[in-house]
Amino acid sequence: QKEVEQNSGPLSVPEGAIASLNCTYSDRGSQSFFWYRQYSGKSPELIMFIYSNGDKEDGRFTAQLNKASQYVSLLIRDSQPSDSATYLCAVTDSASGGYNKLIFGAGTRLAVHP
């Protein structure tokens, strides 16, 4: 059973601080890694994706990937109350054939307080 593990939280950070979200995965063959944000009652929206080891920055967000450790993280700088949501980590299933089947973690709930 392929798994994606996340701390369920809640992770509580003050406004303006850095929020650090972590994810580990079991499928060594996974090639693509995604972070989604999901507000309560809404569907997920893509925040970032990363394919290569190292860091990838996009605005206030930085994704970090370490395939050897099977670890993905998301840093959110200058956290805002509007960032309060559940963050889902997803990785591609290496056995999914010609399409990109995703395996989702259970999500980490982030709460940014003023």
Partner 1 sequence: GAVVSQHPSWVICKSGTSVKIECRSLDFQATTMFWYRQFPKQSLMLMATSNEGSKATYEQGVEKDKFLINHASLTLSTLTVTSAHPEDSSFYICSAETSGSYEQYFGPGTRLTVT
Of the candidates 85, 87, 74, which has an alpha carbon nearest to the alpha carbon of residue 112?
A: 85
Comparison of 49 and 61: residue with beta carbon closer to partner 1: 49
Pairing relation of β-strands 108-113 and 11-14? parallel
Comparison of 97 and 114: residue with beta carbon closer to partner 1: 97
Comparison of 12 and 32: residue with beta carbon closer to partner 1: 32
Quick one: CA dihedral 97, 45, 28, 31, positive or negative?
positive
Q: At 88, is the secondary structure helix, strand, or coil?
A: strand
User: Binder to partner 1 among 105, 110, 111, 114 (CB under 8 A)?
Assistant: 105
DSSP 112: E
| Residue 41 region by backbone torsions, left for phi larger than 0, else alpha for psi between -120 and 50, else beta | left
> Which 28-67 residues touch partner 1, going by CB under 8 A?
32, 34, 41-46, 49, 51
- The CB-of-36 to partner 1 minimum distance in angstroms stands at 8
Comparison of 105 and 112: residue with beta carbon closer to partner 1: 105
The site for partner 1 (CB under 8 A) is made up of 32, 34, 41-46, 49, 51, 88, 92, 96, 99-107
